[in-house]
Amino acid sequence: MKQFKYIVMLMMTMFLFSACEMEIEHVKVDPAQSVAPTLLGQKDIIVNQDNSKVEAVVFNWTSASFGVPTQIQYALYLTLGENSVLAGTSFSNSFTISKQDLNGLVCNDLKVKPNETANISAGLVASIYGTNVAPVKSNNISFNITTYAAELRFLFLPGNYQSWNITQAPQFWETDGGTNLYKILVDLQDGSADYSYFKVTVARNWSDENWGYNYLTPSWTCPEQSDSNLSVDLRDGSIYELTVNRSAMTIDKAVVDGVGMCGAYNGWSYGTTGDDPLTYDATENVWVSPAVTFKESDGLAFLIRLNTANDPNNWAFKFGTNGEASAEVPGGIKLVQGGGDITVPSAGTYIMKLHGNRTPYVLVMEKQ
C-alpha cells in the first residue's frame, strides 16, 4: 500500500511539472506591451597586474517587461567590429565580472592585443526564461578598455589515461597571458575499446574546482556537472588537441591523426617509410621520438608533423621554426606551423621531446 502511495505521488508530481512546463511554453505575450531594458553607461576600464584579481566591473540596467509576471533572463554581449562574445547572464538588474575574466574575453574573443586600448560596445538581450517568446534588446553603450599582458596560467588534465593520478596530472597552459584559453596536445589512450574518461582541474587535487560532463561534444558547456567525467570516443582516435575556454566555460576537441617527425635523415618520409612517430609520456607530459641519427652527408634538417599516420604526404600540419628560443622551457625552441626547417646543432643521435601543452609548441633536442 505504501508503495502504491509513492507511485501516485510520483505521478502527481510529474503531472504538475508537465503542467507547469506547458503553462510556461504557452505564455501569452502582446509584443506591443514589451518594454526593453535600458543598459546604463559604463566608465572606461583599465585592467592591469595589480587590479585584475581584486577588482570587478559591474554592468547595471533597468528592468525589461513583457506585460505579464514572469522570470526574465538578461544576456550581456560585448562587441568589437565583427567579433562578439557573451559576457554572462543574470536574472537580476546587474551583472558582475572580474577584471581578470573581462580581460580574457576581450583579448581572446574580441581579438584585442594585450596592453592596447579598444572601444567596446555592450548590449543586452532580455528573454522570458524557458520559453520561445521573442526577446527584446536594449540600447548599446560603448566604453574604452585597456587590456594587459597577464602572466600565463595553467590547468591540469587528470584521467583514466594516466590512472587518475591527480598528483601527477599533466599541466597545460594558456595560449597567451590573460586570454583564459588553454590548449594541450594529448594521447588519451587508456587501453579500453570505447571511451576514455578525464577531467579538467585547477590544481593537482580534488578539493579545488574540477569540471566534467558525461560526453564531450564539439562544444562542452556544462561545467556545473562537476561530479561526472568528460569523455572521448576512442573509436574516433585517441590523440586530441583539447581547447578549454575558461571565460565561456567551453571545451573543444580536434582529433589528431598521429604526431611524428621527418627530415633529411629519412628522405623526408617519401615512399613507404612514413614519419617516425612521437609517443606521449603522460608522466613527463611530453611527446618523445625514437632515437634518430643525423649524418652530415644526409643533411641535418627536419620537421614535426601532425595528421600523417595515414597520409605521409600531408604537409598541411608541418611545424618548423622561426629561430625563436623558448624562455619557459630550457633548451627549447618555439615551433611555428608552416615555419622553416629545424636543424640539429651537429651530426649525431638525438631524441626529440615535444611540449604540446604550450602555445606555441616547444621542441627540445636531446643529443645522446
Task: Please write the tens of the pLDDT for every residue from 309-324.
Answer: 888 888 899 999 999 9
Over the stretch 131-188, which tens digit does the pLDDT of each residue have? 888 899 999 999 999 999 888 899 999 999 999 999 999 999 999 887 788 999 999 9
Query: Where are the strands (E) in 239-300, listed by range?
Result: 239-245, 250-255, 259-263, 276-277, 279-281, 286-288, 292-294
Segment 36-59 shows an average pLDDT of: 95
Task: Let me know: does 252 contact 242? Beta carbons within 8 Å.
Answer: yes
pLDDT at 77 over 70: yes
Q: How many helices (H) and strands (E) does the chain have?
A: 2, 28
Over the stretch 195-218, which tens digit does the pLDDT of each residue have? 999 999 999 999 888 887 755 554
For residue 330, the model assigns a pLDDT of 95
Q: Which three cell numbers stand for residue 305?
A: 608533423
Which residues 6+ apart lie within 8 Å of 39 measured at CB?
A: 59, 60, 61, 122, 123, 124, 138, 139, 140, 141
Whole-Å CA distances, 7 to 1, 11, 15, 20, 21: 10, 6, 12, 20, 21
Q: Where are the alpha helices (DSSP H) in the chain?
A: 2-25, 99-108
Over the stretch 8-39, which tens digit does the pLDDT of each residue have? 344 444 444 443 443 444 557 777 789 999 99
- Three-state secondary structure call for residue 2: helix
pLDDT at 351 over 70: yes
Q: Which structural domains are found in the chain, ordered by start?
A: 29-146 (2.60.40.3640), 154-255 (2.60.40.3620), 259-367 (2.60.40.3620)
CB atoms under 10 Å from CB of 18, counted, come to 10
- Spatial separation of the C-alpha atoms in residues 106 and 273, rounded to whole Å: 46
Q: Which three cell numbers stand for residue 36?
A: 526593453
Which residues 6+ apart lie within 8 Å of 224 measured at CB?
A: none
Q: Identify the bridge partners of residue 119 per DSSP, sorted by sequence position.
A: 144
